Chain A
């Protein structure tokens, strides 16, 4: 392994490092100071460890669904059918499916604004996910949240959050509620690499470790926070090592390999369920700009040219065929089916109704309150009332 290479998933997963051993037995040298994505060979190696054909096929289906959904969303955004900001999971599909595969239906997820894939993998209908992007009544957040703010209590997706780091204290508190009630549930809280530098990261991890809360913090390290590389933003670019400051168990995994991610996430979740919060760093790739509108000019042509090679979706397709788990025709069929699924979601979203203006004040307060302001912008506070003449001449 060169100095620049990221750890193979195998070496990483082999060792669940606790805080004490993290620094001592780091599985990498200078991994994250650069953005050389995980070597392909590394991905292949993990496979031999544990090939579960059915699981891989399921992952492939899910990853393709996310891929086609995001591409459909990007198109609708470019056509101005979707507004606001639109951040996609393109390149992170393997990380998303692996992480979500480790959660039980009764576990909770808090995430950030790059969450369409997570919503779908939590079991939320892609139709409703797309309808949210369109701001329609059938959207997961009824059109109130948009791309960055998806929420569905019944699927235990407790929010995409648009403020960097906003979800960390909330996830910690949800874990506190679980502990308080003596339940067997776990909270997973995902964030980006750049988010590890916000103050809430320190405060939340410390509290979680101190109180032994059932929460897994996951850093999706896609190498960039907007245009800033990890090396330019993090004094310790191997982000999982920061857990040692909180005596928290931590691990780093190859996020381009869904099986490796699942494996690591299962250990992390089991640890949290046993009252030991965990920091999992997932090395991933962002194939496009920060959001749909970002042309990502700050990336070199060379870097961009190399990206395709680390695209987890075609890589998994190739692997399925190579290992004779699926034929090329079967792979193609999955691709077609999922493209149709994304198109159907788009059609559903377009057909869904716009919220009615009369509902603007429906969610002002959970407990109705006297004198609640329900005024449209042009409305006067009071109708002009002339003072009775008798009083005026008093």
Chain B
């Protein structure tokens, strides 16, 4: 085990995979000379040269599509799209081609492609630069979408994504890059399509992914201390496929669920999870499934408005308390931190 940041875990894994397999190469804007907008690829151009670390023009559709084509011939491109907002310019190539080629041609060509891209928000970047639109990809059959919340999972899921023969959208998060954790030194790829119980508990199931899984764990720990609550936290890790089994089993045990997401409420990932719980654990539920998500507006630049639009720890705590109240559970200090 080595203590490192999420950023370092990604960097080290990319490097190790490039050393292991010469078909693995990197492509994206500003990943070489500039060393990556968020410095994930720092030093890799110097080590591997321009053939393996390709700086591209600003041409998301062009280079993402080119990566798909290269993957069809057996290379294993790892594309970096500077932020998920700009992936919209490549949406056609990803949705109409990367996700379709294996099926549409009867399984004759595989697309072993990884698209790494960070989501974010909360940095006053305004409406076009603060979106969390991983859902667009999770919606599409043929895509795999993974979203680690810890440095260890970043490594395990990136290993899995690079070694996978399908297109994988690998969601990172601006707010997680500097977070730290123990990372195993050996290669243990995660299994894509599996969620993780990040914290065991009996009182309520708190579900999130990426930054929201990180927040879920923090809130659960805080409430364990302050309220003596025993909250189970599920880190989805994989948005497509979605591990419905783990969700259902947890709710059967806790009888209540709150879902956290960094995107908009309507038609969001939380809606899919709520529907899953309704289908698979209806009789076990003691309260409606609550979702905490962003306000449904194009994100304003103003700090005051942006803060109001983003879910906070207090919003999460208040949703948990209200759910437990609906269950009929008495709390020591209900409402104290949130009204």
Residue numbers of A with Cβ under 8 A of B are 83-85, 135-136, 141, 143-146, 148-149, 161-166, 194-195, 197-199, 225-228, 232-234, 298, 354-357, 359-361, 363-364, 373-378, 380-382, 384
Contacts and interface: CB of A to CB of B under 8 A. Distances in A.
A162 B33 contact: no
A105 B265 CA distance: 43
A148 B299 CA distance: 13
Contacts of A148: 125-126, 129
A378 B34 contact: no
Contacts of A357: 304-305, 308
A360 B297 CA distance: 8
B322 A143 contact: no
Interface of B: 29-30, 33-34, 37, 55, 57-62, 85-86, 89, 123-129, 265-266, 287-288, 290-298, 300-305, 308-312, 314-316, 318-319, 322, 326, 338
B33 A298 contact: yes
Contacts of B57: 194, 197-198, 225, 228, 233-234
A257 to B, nearest CB: 28
Nearest to A194: B58
Contacts of A145: 126-127, 301
B18 to A, nearest CB: 21
Nearest to A358: B308
Where chain A touches its partner, the secondary structure class is loop
A232 B301 CA distance: 33
Contacts of B298: 363
Given A162-B129, A376-B295, A380-B322, A233 B302 contact: no
B318 A195 contact: no
A355 B305 contact: yes
7 contacts: A136-B302, A143-B301, A144-B300, A149-B128, A161-B128, A376-B309, A377-B310
Given A143-B302, A199-B62, A226-B29, A149 B34 contact: no
B290 A375 contact: no
A81 B29 CA distance: 29
A84 B123 contact: yes
A135 B301 CA distance: 6
B125 A84 contact: yes
A7 B329 CA distance: 78
A328 B40 CA distance: 50
B309 A143 contact: no
Given A83-B124, A144-B300, 8 more contacts: A85-B125, A141-B301, A143-B300, A148-B126, A149-B301, A360-B300, A373-B296, A378-B318
Contacts of B318: 378
A194 B292 CA distance: 39
A146 B126 CA distance: 7
A378 B61 CA distance: 37
A211 B132 CA distance: 37
A355 B307 CA distance: 12
B256 to A, nearest CB: 12
B55 A232 contact: yes
A225 B123 contact: no
A356 B297 CA distance: 15
Contact of A377 (B59, B61, B295, B302): B295
A233 B291 CA distance: 44
Contacts of A361: 295, 297
A377 B293 contact: yes
Contacts of B123: 83-84
A378 B314 contact: yes
B237 to A, nearest CB: 23
A355 B126 contact: no
A83 B296 contact: no
Given A163-B128, A355-B304, A384 B61 contact: no
A165 B304 contact: no
Nearest to B325: A384
Contacts of A166: 128
Contacts of A163: 85-86, 89, 128
Contacts of B86: 163-164
Contacts of A198: 57-60, 89
A116 to B, nearest CB: 14
Nearest to A166: B128
